[in-house]
Structure 1
Amino acid sequence: MAKLLIISDSHGLTNELIEIKKRHQQTVDAMIHCGDSELPYNAPEMNDFIKVKGNCDFDSSYLDELTEEIQGSRVFVTHGHLYNVKMSLMSIQYKAEEVDAKIACFGHSHVAGSFQENNIVFINPGSILIPRRRPEPTYVIAEIEEKEMTVRFFNAAGSEVEELAAHYVVKSK
């Protein structure tokens, strides 16, 4: 089993990142930031995050994308601007398939949501500063069991946004 904290588009927030990390760091296997933190790569608030570069990140230490093996699940992480996720999710889907990911995490659009396509679960945690299409800032806790995944969204204060929750069956390839 793996449990992931996924956050994106914090755009300079520091106290909120610290609070969310404190709230969950003892109960998750990995913490992922999908870019646009606007913080230096080595900022204390970004410590412990698997992190990528967004279009508003200018520290050259960030990678544009990465693929990580977390508790047996291959996770592809990118911000999304290089895949034009505001226009179509086809490019990011092709990339996730290419790297054999079970999970693809991205941000950029600030629109919270998840869906499954070709046995890959795509997760956009929304933004904890400037949400779009929803009133509340959000982040995600994803729990992966062998053949099942639950994606739960939370507001910045830690209360679950139940209508966004989703459950997926993930088949072995």
Structure 2
Amino acid sequence: MKLLVVSDSHGDRDILVTLADRFTGQVDAFCHCGDSELPADDPVWKNYHVVGGNMDFDSSYPVSQTVTVDGKRIFLTHGHCYGIKQDLTRLALAAREAKADFAFFGHSHELGVVETSGIVFLNPGSISQPRGQYASLGGTFALVTSTGDHTTIEFCTRDGRTIPELTVTYGGKTKHGSKDI
């Protein structure tokens, strides 16, 4: 299974179209973690699983959703309703309740990934307004590849360039690399 995860595009519709055009046929699903600032019925969403964020004022967006791709359950949310800027406790409880393998979220605009109790928590950062330690990269998204019990997260720049030093692989009890949230 391969997924593209993006968040916090804040009105930058063109980058969502560019990512869909570039990666269609290369990934099994696209996930957007909110704050697109686009209407919920925008045609760009035909390619994406999407949730609403605190800057999405269209009430048609769900706050969260759980999707299954290749047998893996993904809990998708923006994070503002789960207090992710304080800690991941409320998000972890919701992800466990959803029996999720992955919890994807945004809101902080800071990329990070951590695996806890068998769930991979991933914030791809903001594609349009990055913050924090990696803001100089100019916007990021993530590619998640899961085969068997191994999962690799690659963080990429807006132009699709993988940042090798940020790549993290989880498998069984082994973790290589770390970009903790």
Q: Which amino acid aligns with 2:63?
A: D
Q: Which amino acid aligns with 1:131?
A: P
**Distance in 2 separating the partners of 1:170 and 1:118:** 11
Structure 2 CA distance for aligned equivalents of residues 166 and 71 of structure 1 = 21
When the two structures are aligned, how many residues end up with a matched partner? Answer: 170
User: Is the 1:35–1:107 contact (alpha carbons within 8 Å) kept by the matching residues of 2?
Assistant: yes
Q: Deviations over 1:41-81 (max 9, x none)?
A: 12122321000010000111110000111110010000000
Q: Which runs of 5+ in 2 are unaligned?
A: 174-181
Q: How does 1:1-173 map to 2 (within 5 A)?
A: 2-133=1-132, 134=134, 135-136=136-137, 137-170=139-172
Query: Match for 1:58: what amino acid?
Result: F
1:66-125 CA-partner distances (Å, limit 9, x unpaired):
011111001000000000101111110111111110000000001111110001001100
Q: Distance between the aligned counterparts of 1:42 and 1:143, measured in 2?
A: 29
2:91 partner amino acid = I
Which structure: greater helix fraction? 2
The alignment's TM-score, normalised by the length of structure 2, stands at 0.91
Aligned partner of residue 17 in structure 2, secondary structure: helix
Deviations 1:18-52 (A, max 9, x none): 11111111111110000000000121223210000
Give me the identity figure in percent. Answer: 41
SS at match of 1:116: strand
| CA RMSD, Structure 1 to Structure 2 (Å) | 1.1
Could you tell me which residue of structure 1 aligns to residue 178 of structure 2?
A: none
Please list every run of at least 4 consecutive aligned residues from structure 1 whose deviation after the TM superposition is greater than 3 angstroms: none
Q: CA 1:17/1:84 → structure 2, altered by over 3 Å: closer, same or farther?
A: same
**Unpaired runs of at least 5, structure 1:** none
Distance 1:162 1:69, change over 3 A: same
Whether contact under 8 Å (1:149, 1:170) holds in the other structure is no
**8 Å Cα contact 1:36/1:57 also seen in 2:** yes
1:35–1:51 Cα contact (<8 Å) kept: yes
